[in-house]
């Protein structure tokens, strides 16, 4: 055996590297190639048969993701062991070590890149079960962030090897580029932060009726909240697209978040008798008491005052819903019943009607009930 070793070292020594070390390194590389094949064909196929019996698809997707990167990692481990055993000259060994290190970084980043789809789909499913909505918006973008980060890490490592730049210098360069890009795309970044403010401050949600800056910007229903802008559906069915940065700096009035929706009517009726006035008051009270959309906790009809020959009647009620369309339908139903009552009682000298629609602030409802008692 010793003679064989001496023979190999005598005739197969290259660059002062003993032949036995070269042959052992080559053997390890060949062995890693065989192990890579065994892993790809036998081991993974065995696990595929096991995962096929499960109900979830996550394990199948993970196996598809792990297959190419892990098989190449086995090969890189073989090259690294061969490098250590062979013992190349210092300068060549340092360069080879860096390239193998780059390979390891690239394989890990490739694994992260391939797993981004599965990881973010899992997060999207989890985000749908949470009460907050900001994570639902950000989850789809997380996949792109993970993939970009994986590519940037590989580029930084390659630049360190090929250009001799340190990681600190590369981070400084990327930081300067990021600052420049931030100034160029500052409006886009501002819109992203505006989207976060909409969700964090709970300004509104899709389906709400919103007014921005007293209607100067928009007065419409929220149709879609995007990362850059928000779409509003106007009453004429057109669409307004408002940047989120504009919304974040605007005065937002959310009609859909009112505590109650109220309707206040002041009827001015000329020249009617006391008996007819009593019938009208009774009829108006019955309309509010019998309408299913009117909130029955509190509503009132009062003969408030006389202005000359005019009788002033105030009608005040709350609707059961704060949704704009349903609220308007309840008002319409009540209005039709009122007109029928006026036609029945032959009220033809109705001077005008004042309608005041606003929100019922905390404590106002209780104060009105207390005053009535």
Q: Looking at the structure, do residues 165 and 103 belong to the same domain, yes or no?
A: yes
How much is the pLDDT for 347?
80
Cβ atoms of 157 and 170 within 8 Å: the answer is no
Q: Looking at the structure, do residues 320 and 350 belong to the same domain, yes or no?
A: yes
Q: Assess if residue 219 is contained within a domain.
A: yes
pLDDT band at 303 (very low <50, low <70, confident <90, very high): very high
Q: Looking at the structure, do residues 311 and 239 belong to the same domain, yes or no?
A: no
Task: Please identify, among 256, 275, 309, the residue that sits at the C-terminal boundary of a domain.
Answer: 256
- Model confidence at 258: pLDDT above 80: no
Domain of residue 351 covers: 258-372
Q: Looking at the structure, do residues 243 and 363 belong to the same domain, yes or no?
A: no
pLDDT band at 52 (very low <50, low <70, confident <90, very high): low
Q: Looking at the structure, do residues 61 and 160 belong to the same domain, yes or no?
A: yes
- Span 103-155, pLDDT tens digits: 888 888 888 777 777 777 766 666 566 555 555 556 666 777 777 777 777 77
Q: Assess if residue 281 is contained within a domain.
A: yes
Q: Assess if residue 184 is contained within a domain.
A: no
Total domains in the chain come to: 3
Q: The CATH number of the domain where 282 resides is what? A: 3.30.70.100
Q: Assess if residue 185 is contained within a domain.
A: no
How much is the pLDDT for 105?
81
Cβ atoms of 211 and 219 within 8 Å: the answer is yes
Task: Please identify, among 232, 256, 280, the residue that sits at the C-terminal boundary of a domain.
Answer: 256
Q: Assess if residue 220 is contained within a domain.
A: yes
Q: Looking at the structure, do residues 31 and 165 belong to the same domain, yes or no?
A: yes
Q: Assess if residue 359 is contained within a domain.
A: yes
CA distance 68 to 110: 9
Task: Please identify, among 238, 256, 274, the residue that sits at the C-terminal boundary of a domain.
Answer: 256
Q: Tokens 């660059």 appear where?
A: 15
Q: Mean pLDDT, the chain, as a whole number?
A: 76
Over residues 1-26, the mean pLDDT reads: 66
Q: Assess if residue 188 is contained within a domain.
A: no
- Model confidence at 81: pLDDT above 50: yes
Q: Looking at the structure, do residues 9 and 151 belong to the same domain, yes or no?
A: yes
Q: Looking at the structure, do residues 249 and 270 belong to the same domain, yes or no?
A: no
Q: Looking at the structure, do residues 147 and 12 belong to the same domain, yes or no?
A: yes
pLDDT band at 1 (very low <50, low <70, confident <90, very high): low
How much is the pLDDT for 51?
66
- The residue among 315 and 91 whose pLDDT is bigger is 315
- Model confidence at 245: pLDDT above 70: yes
Q: Looking at the structure, do residues 269 and 239 belong to the same domain, yes or no?
A: no
Q: Assess if residue 179 is contained within a domain.
A: no
pLDDT band at 336 (very low <50, low <70, confident <90, very high): very high
User: Which of the 8 DSSP states describes residue 337?
Assistant: H
Cβ atoms of 25 and 86 within 8 Å: the answer is yes
Q: Looking at the structure, do residues 91 and 148 belong to the same domain, yes or no?
A: yes
Over residues 49-58, the mean pLDDT reads: 66
Q: The CATH number of the domain where 217 resides is what? A: 2.30.30.60
- 372: tokens are 């009535």
- Model confidence at 283: pLDDT above 90: yes
- Model confidence at 37: pLDDT above 70: yes
- 143: tokens are 């996949």
Rounded to 5°, the CA angle 85-90-92 comes to: 85
Q: Looking at the structure, do residues 234 and 277 belong to the same domain, yes or no?
A: no
């Amino acid at each position: 055996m010793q003679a064989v070793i001496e023979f190999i070292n005598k005739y197969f020594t290259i660059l002062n590297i003993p032949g036995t070390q070269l042959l052992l390194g080559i053997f390890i590389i060949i062995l890693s190639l065989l192990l890579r094949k065994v892993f790809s064909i036998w081991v993974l196929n065995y696990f595929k048969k096991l995962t096929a019996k499960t109900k979830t698809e996550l394990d199948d997707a993970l196996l598809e993701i792990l297959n190419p990167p892990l098989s190449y990692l086995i090969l890189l481990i073989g090259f690294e062991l061969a490098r250590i055993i062979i013992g190349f000259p210092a300068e060549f060994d340092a360069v080879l070590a860096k390239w193998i290190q780059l390979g390891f970084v690239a394989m890990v980043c490739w694994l992260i890149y391939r797993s981004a789809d599965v990881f973010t789909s899992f997060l999207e499913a989890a985000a749908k079960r949470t009460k907050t909505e900001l994570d639902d918006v950000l989850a789809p973008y997380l996949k792109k962030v993970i993939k970009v980060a994986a590519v940037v890490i590989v580029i930084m490592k390659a630049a360190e090897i090929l250009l001799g730049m340190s990681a600190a210098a590369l981070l400084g360069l990327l930081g300067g580029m990021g600052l420049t890009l931030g100034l160029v795309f500052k409006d886009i970044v501002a819109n992203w932060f505006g989207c976060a403010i909409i969700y964090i401050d709970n300004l509104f949600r899709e389906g709400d009726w919103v007014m921005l800056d007293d209607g100067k910007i928009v007065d419409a229903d929220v149709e879609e909240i995007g990362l850059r802008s928000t779409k509003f559906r106007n009453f004429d069915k057109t669409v307004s697209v408002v940047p989120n940065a504009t919304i974040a700096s605007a005065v937002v009035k959310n009609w859909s978040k009112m505590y109650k929706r109220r309707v206040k009517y002041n009827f001015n009726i000329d020249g009617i008798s006391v008996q007819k006035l009593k019938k009208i008051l009774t009829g108006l009270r019955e309309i509010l008491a019998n309408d299913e959309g009117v909130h029955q906790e509190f509503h009132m009809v009062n003969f408030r005052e006389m202005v000359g020959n005019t009788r002033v009647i105030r009608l005040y009620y709350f609707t059961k819903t704060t949704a704009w369309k349903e609220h308007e339908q309840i008002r319409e139903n009540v209005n039709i019943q009122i007109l029928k009552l006026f036609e029945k009682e032959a009220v033809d000298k109705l001077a005008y009607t004042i309608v005041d629609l606003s929100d019922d602030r905390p404590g106002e409802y209780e104060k009105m009930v207390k005053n009535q008692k």
